[in-house]
Amino acid sequence: MSLIVVGSVAYDGVETPHGKIDRMLGGACTYISLAAAYFTEVKIVGVVGEDFAQEDIDFLASRKIDLTGLDRVAGRTFFWAGRYSPDMNDRETLQTDLNVFADFDPKLPESYRAEPYLFLGNIQPDLQRSVRNQMKNVQLTGGDTMNYWINDFRPALLETLKQWDFLLINDSEARLLSGQHNLRRAASKIMEMGPHTLVIKRGEYGAILFRRGEHFMVPGYLLEDVFDPTGAGDCFAGGFIGHLAGRGVSPSDGDIDFAELRRAVIYGSVLGSFCCEKFGVDRFRTLTREEIEARYQEFKNHTSF
Amino acid sequence: MSLIVVGSVAYDGVETPHGKIDRMLGGACTYISLAAAYFTEVKIVGVVGEDFAQEDIDFLASRKIDLTGLDRVAGRTFFWAGRYSPDMNDRETLQTDLNVFADFDPKLPESYRAEPYLFLGNIQPDLQRSVRNQMKNVQLTGGDTMNYWINDFRPALLETLKQWDFLLINDSEARLLSGQHNLRRAASKIMEMGPHTLVIKRGEYGAILFRRGEHFMVPGYLLEDVFDPTGAGDCFAGGFIGHLAGRGVSPSDGDIDFAELRRAVIYGSVLGSFCCEKFGVDRFRTLTREEIEARYQEFKNHTSF
């Protein structure tokens, strides 16, 4: 019972008030998979160029992430560079070289197609739909999107969302997609588009889970130092879907236990918070399941009354 | 066992996306008292002009708020007018007429001086200290301040804070006061200034309670409609100190039960959220204690896992 994760595998250059890294492993698919792999078996679908380092392959493989669907083709790996504002609430993109990612047309290996869990990272909505349609027996489908697809590929995105059980987006994306500023109203509109479950991520302010007239809120973990927020939203997604897949959650008549979804949101928050503690994926080189459980308990201590 | 509240009693003109009111009852002392009066007996200290309406006196008196300390003097009542941005996260001040408030020099009636609870609304720090020094047997002192006093009256404010058990401020004020962007670090710095308990208010994102290396976070209540955020922070303060006073909380050897403080933060959040549902103080004309308890339970449902 594995989780299929589709999205970018990349190299990133990042500058934060804590330092500057010219080139490090990144990409949504990478972060989602590393986070989810603490909870479940993960199989990824992505594309990299000839420059993709063996040590990065080895790192992913060391987490038992199935790389059968990671194509290596002629050319260079997707590269993104950005610089964060002093308070790290904003970032400026300095460079985007799509490289081999420009022609990404995900084809699932036969060994992936019968798996029950699918997370579609932030890629062109028609490609997300194509992947969904290659799956034979999927029980839980969800994913991410972004402003660019919401603005310029709206009809394709709306068609894609019809097939999703859940959507994870940030607050500005939720407002853009729904045309509503108020998040409760935005959530109602979005859930009419298809997903029965919606998670709105609010960066340092936490997240809100919406489902059938109910909602659940978690504040952001209060870090002493945010080293690098790159990938935190993807790690949230990985913790969320990873927990659901690891628990074998399946929507019977379209329903998922709300308590299990709440816990998934907490695990998402936990993984997102760890991600910020070091540059890039570095925190995941040492992070243990015990540390994850300890922080889950911290969330309980910090929010219960 | 009453709560003394000191601060502005005013008229406000407010424009929000939901409408415009030229003149309505306002002022920090008013909001704090109305909120706290659901939990405890309140005695206020303030000043109004000859234009202060009998119906506003009657409204406050109907909440059993002791008005012995509300001076009526020659001149007009403090008037403030402002306009909110479309998303209501910012506001622009259109008019500030201090009027009789310019010479406010609070003198406590003899009947107030032996009370155990004191909340000092946002006024000049030397005046806050003068009030504190008029109290004979105070057990719990706290209050609010703002950017203007932090920037231009820093030594006076630091002297004043030494006497306080708790401080309630918003996140930008906490950063300004401490010189630290990170809220955990900001909180540590501020608690070295005197208050053993600190509540940082984050507007729609909720609040964080800090105390002796511990913290507790609550997300903001998700309203469908924010009509008018004026006074929400003051109502938070009123709910917070009102609950502590109503429960008879007293710091034995400087300590207060952390569980009681958590509940006070939730009651603060509850009162702040109700305040936004109508213009000015209007929600408090009908709000019942039962509605407050129901929303307290909602907070539990929306945050527990």
Q: Tell me the two tokens of residue B282.
A: 């209007």
Which phi and psi (to 5°) does residue A171 adopt? -65, -40
Q: Tell me the two tokens of residue B149.
A: 């006093």
Specify the DSSP class assigned to residue A88: S
Q: Which residues of chain A have pLDDT under 70?
A: 252-254
Contact between chains at A205 and B222 (C-beta distance less than 8 A): no
| Residues contacting A261, CB < 8 A, separation 6+ | A197, A209, A211, A216, A244
Round the CA-based radius of gyration of chain B to a whole number and report it: 18
Q: Is B185 on the interface with A (CB under 8 A)?
A: yes
Specify the DSSP class assigned to residue B138: -
| Residues contacting B103, CB < 8 A, separation 6+ | B47
Between A253-262, B10-19, B62-71, the lowest mean confidence (pLDDT) is in A253-262
What average pLDDT is seen over chain A?
96
**B248, exposed or middle or buried, with CB in 10 Å at 0-12, 13-18, 19+?**
exposed
- Residues in B touching A225 (Cβ below 8 Å): 182
| Residues contacting B130, CB < 8 A, separation 6+ | B105, B106
* Predicted confidence (pLDDT) per residue in A169-187, tens digit: 999 999 999 999 999 999 9
Residue ranges of domains in chain A: 3-303
Give the one of A87, A219, A266 whose C-beta lies nearest to B181's C-beta: A87
3-class DSSP string for A13-60? EEEECCEEEEEEEECHHHHHHHHHCCCCCEEEEEEECCCCCHHHHHHH
The whole-angstrom distance between A188's CA and the closest CA on chain B is 11
Q: Is B85 on the interface with A (CB under 8 A)?
A: no
| Residues contacting A133, CB < 8 A, separation 6+ | none
Q: Is A217 on the interface with B (CB under 8 A)?
A: yes
What was the ipTM of the complex prediction? 0.92
pLDDT confidence bin for B252, thresholds 50/70/90: low
pLDDT score recorded for residue A254: 64
**A57, exposed or middle or buried, with CB in 10 Å at 0-12, 13-18, 19+?**
middle
pLDDT confidence bin for B254, thresholds 50/70/90: low
- Residues in A touching B210 (Cβ below 8 Å): none
- Residues in A touching B217 (Cβ below 8 Å): 219, 222, 302-303
pLDDT score recorded for residue A275: 98
Q: Is A218 on the interface with B (CB under 8 A)?
A: yes
CATH superfamily of A3-303: Ribokinase (3.40.1190.20)
